[in-house]
Amino acid sequence: MPVFEEEMPFSGIREAKQRLDMLKERRARLNEELRELLKEFSECYPYETTPVRLSRSTDKSLTALRWRVVSYGGGLYKKERDTLGRRIRNVGELVELHQPAGQAFLEQLSPQARKVFLDFEYRRIHLNYLFAVTVYEIGRLEHFIEMFDAWRKMKKKM
């Protein structure tokens, strides 16, 4: 038996379409969990109480939730400038908590607030992974079904 037949997560086009439906349901559930996490973060940290916020990404990178610089209010995150006095960080810039900019932000928080942010980060990275894998598989499966249907039509014409 060819490897591709052994490795397929379904045994026929009917199962492929069922899997597609299941994945679309999963995507809807994950979207709801993403919205709930954003809401929970907003309730925990109302706008402008922290300069780094959890936000929904609208790009096609499949990274649904990102940390974004939104303000420099409250003195929590000093405006950093280069040697010429230009601001280094801008509102809207993305930040990863494991990178130096994110670490600098976390260091300014109390231990309790740092724990809360890291709890949100834990959930964010897991939801991002599940969402990305699901959305990617939906796209590939839709393409597979489309190509299979086209192949079937060509085969019938023979």
pTM: 0.81
- C-alpha to C-alpha distances, 119 to 35, 92, 125, 128, 152, nearest whole angstrom: 16, 22, 10, 14, 49
Q: pLDDT tens, 95-144?
A: 899 998 889 889 988 999 999 999 999 999 999 999 999 999 999 999 99
Q: Which residue has better confidence, 44 or 8?
A: 44
Nearest-10 Cα torsion for 56, 113, 96, 129:
-60
pLDDT at 74: 44
Q: Which residue has better confidence, 26 or 47?
A: 26
pLDDT at 8: 85
The answer to whether 66 touches 133, Cβ cutoff 8 Å, is: no
Find the mean pLDDT for residues 7-17.
Answer: 90
Confidence at 91, pLDDT banded by 50, 70, 90: low
Closest CA to 51 of 67, 27, 36: 67
Q: pLDDT tens, 62-89?
A: 999 999 887 554 444 445 554 555 455 5
How far apart, in whole angstroms, are the C-alpha atoms of residue 132 and residue 61? 8
pLDDT at 61: 84
